Chains A and B, each alone.
Chain A
């Protein structure tokens, strides 16, 4: 049994009368790819929002690497080692791809604030090389100097993934990384996810595409109405009648 890197304990979150998360408990093992599936409105994105400090839960704790994350600012949580790919790509649309990737690299190297106004950007060769390497891995090296806002939606998602990877986070949160992608692009993303899996980075992935889920996940949890109804290996989840009933509508996978 490996270490538990992230533990969500009894988290509750309501929006007005709507209970988005109720008694959510989840343990994420280090080095594993953990997929969260569940019907629309099950609270998957809310769960990630709580993890990165975008939302404060009504009660409960989120412990990352033995440290309580509740009440911390988003940038502190990121500096602790959690990066997130959003459902709609959050990139820097006015900057070049290279700059988009260099900025997160600086965040890892320099921390939350550094006033280096007299350093020249063109002297930052290490950061630049690292950014180029990631962009090459992700297949965007040829557009390195174009403006990120001009990319297609699929490429923006890949760029955002590159921005997260360059930080070498301990935990990577992916919110539907293949939503809206063509099958060809989806396969490319799966390959990429498999490749970075070897690096030992822990990942939580929210996904509707079962093809993606069963290709990459070591462990799957099913979220419905704000709580985990089943958790196990892909095979266990496939065979679980409760899951088939609640989520898959009885269809056999």
Chain B
């Protein structure tokens, strides 16, 4: 539990940036190196990293963060419709508006803790979801979802050019938001988001959030007003969710209410737990695994399995294919479920706990002491 040093933090940042930016290269052999999926990795990464600031640090399990994702998406699409196809104002508005909603919802829901907090947030998210389908149809366009139209005003764009034929596409100051350039924009935003999360984790503010998780009663009798701390964490994570929602709309300018369904809120909880709650990198790993399963495993079929087992003798692959086929294709949920059960039962700290265990195993083998003796200023007084 040594306090992380600044040098260490910079090193982690550099490695993280390198790994994220080189994703198109090292995901190639895994068959996951196409822009759509890469963008999803980055966007859900932002969502999960932000969610972890609330759930990982304070322990408050929100089941309604998809609502902020939805708010971010709708805001971004409206910005594309009314102002400009540049994503810059869109994501700024997404973050601000979802932050505002988070402030409002957090103010009410943080009066309770534990399961009551979870249920309150879930109730709010479901309320948003149903409102989007009913009363708020003028804003959300109901079941069809909010889409771009050629006749949209786009005031800022009109200042520079006439409306072209067909639907315009989103860009970041001229950089197209589709394809690899879209991924790189998302990746750089993810790196910035990760950096901010790292700062929060290693700030006095972050350690106080951890202390609230550890013993909120003690916090109160230690002179802290805990509610503003929780509310700040809630708003920050809501803004992250809004940013992710805005980017979803930026890469695919369409906002639908299904983005706010409770399953979307549940997904980010799963990602965080799978990777490791309260660790910096964990949520990112969770995102990678779940999105990989969702997009790659779900596309595998029996033929694909035969190909994968082609190095084995025929009789073995003939046995293995029927055995494993329920776990791929439509059955990818089964694999994910089994993996989730395994993780929660054996590694409650998520994949990061597993990595720590492996690290310890190796450091023991190398017979070096894995602790640094601390310098003593003076010898502690011995009991008399």
Contacts and interface: CB of A to CB of B under 8 A. Distances in A.
Interface stretch (B23-31, B67-75, B182-190, B201-209): B201-209
B161 interface: no
Contact of B224 (A75, A102, A115, A188): A75
Contacts of B374: 141-142, 144-145
Nearest to B5: A122
A78 B222 contact: yes
B376 A141 contact: yes
Contact of A92 (B4, B211, B229, B378): B211
Contacts of A118: 199, 203
A104 B221 CA distance: 9
A3 interface: no
Interface in B285-318: none
A94 interface: yes
B3 A92 contact: no
B221 A84 contact: yes
B380 A142 contact: yes
Contacts of B4: 121-122
Contacts of A252: none
Given A94-B210, A119-B203, A122-B202, A163 B380 contact: no
B220 A74 contact: yes
Per CB-CB distance, the 10 closest pairs between chain A and chain B, nearest first, are A78-B223, A107-B223, A96-B1, A92-B214, A112-B225, A94-B214, A90-B218, A113-B228, A74-B220, A79-B223
A110 interface: yes
Interface string B220-255: 111111101100100010000000000000000000
A113 B203 contact: no
A117 B202 CA distance: 8
Interface residues of A, number: 56
Contacts of B226: 75
A103 B2 CA distance: 16
B174 to A, nearest CB: 31
Nearest to B220: A74
Contact of A107 (B199, B206, B222, B378): B222
Pick the most buried of B211, B217, B221, B236: most chain A CB atoms within 10 A of its CB: B221
A188 B223 contact: no
B111 interface: no
B383 interface: yes
A128 B220 CA distance: 21
Nearest to A147: B1
A120 B221 contact: no
Interface residues of B, number: 45
A2 interface: no
B381 interface: yes
A23 to B, nearest CB: 27
A108 to B, nearest CB: 7
B211 A95 contact: yes
A209 interface: no
Nearest to B236: A117
B215 interface: yes
A191 interface: yes
Contacts of B218: 90-92
A202 interface: no
Interface string B33-64: 00000000000000000000000000000000
Contact of A113 (B225, B371, B377): B225
B205 A114 contact: yes
B154 interface: no
A225 B80 CA distance: 72
B200 interface: yes
Contact of A78 (B2, B5, B207, B221): B221
A117 B200 contact: yes
